[in-house]
Amino acid sequence: MRPRLPATIRPKAEVRRFTADTPGERLDRFLARQCPDLSRSRLQDLIRDGRVRVGGVVVPKPAHRLRGGEAVEVEVIPLPPLEVVPTPLPLKVVYEDDDLLVIDKPAGLVVHPGAGHQTDTLANALVAYLGRAPTPDERPGIVHRLDKDTSGLMVAAKNEAAHRRLQAELKARRFKKGYIALAEGRLSPAEGVIDAPVGRDPRRRTRMAVVTGGRPAVTRFRVLEYLPGATLVEVWPETGRTHQIRVHFASLGHPLVGDGVYGRPCPALNRHFLHAFYLGFPHPRSGRWLEFKSDLPPELQAELARRASRSPSGPGLGGSPAV
């Protein structure tokens, strides 16, 4: 039996550099747009602590108004180390070798520890499964993430070298990720590209939105089938912004079925309809291309069957797109 040792996450300090692009904007609001991974209160604390420079000068006031064109630097101080407690949760491992494992994540499983989820996350399960922390300074083996209620394929590294290499491949956009989604309404045209920047929603900071000045985000899609009240879509994101697919389809007026954040809940489905069905990437050691596919989980298949049964053309014949 593998020894079960706690892992310690030690986030690295970093300096982020930006150029002010909106004259008259508050400093904290500008940084919130540029750093969607940090809360507004965290950014305000960094400003007050003297960790932000505008034009090379420390500015300790969150309400400071930018003129536009200034160089803005923020020193992001790491939070205290977070111990990841090993928790032997069930994992569906679809592939494993000396360097990595590919997991088919169920909906409802949070990837990283956080408020309300300290011991029941994928990170906890990975530490328990491996018996150790795969890397000394990063989250346990995790290369990319899926939202809590998104199911499907993820890759995790088993050693530091593999973790660094996989992260580099991801950053270079050499990962290929495909999703199956069910969007509300009848999506038209039957295929296309959504090219719209994604950032923190200025009205509701817990959400993301298509916003001017957000980070570039590109999503390709192809309609697979029209069903009563919804469209089954194959989705291929070219970037990996937080909530990107959900935000992009909501911006078209077609939020994902069951998405209570960007659309509305679905009484028959206790999650949003988004599944990572395809994952391809170069092996971190050999460079050989690996690819994996995952079937829709039973609850998503049941939702399709329920909708298809309402179609005049009968189950499974909800209508093909004209392309």
Q: Which residue among 99, 147, 201, 259 is the active-site one?
A: 147
Tokens of 4: 């079960």
Assess whether 149 carries a catalytic annotation: no
Asked if the peptide bond before residue 189 counts as cis, ω within 30 degrees of 0, the response is yes
**Gyration radius of the chain over CA positions:** 21
What is the CB-side half-sphere exposure of residue 234 using CA atoms within 13 A? 11
Q: Which residues are catalytic?
A: 147
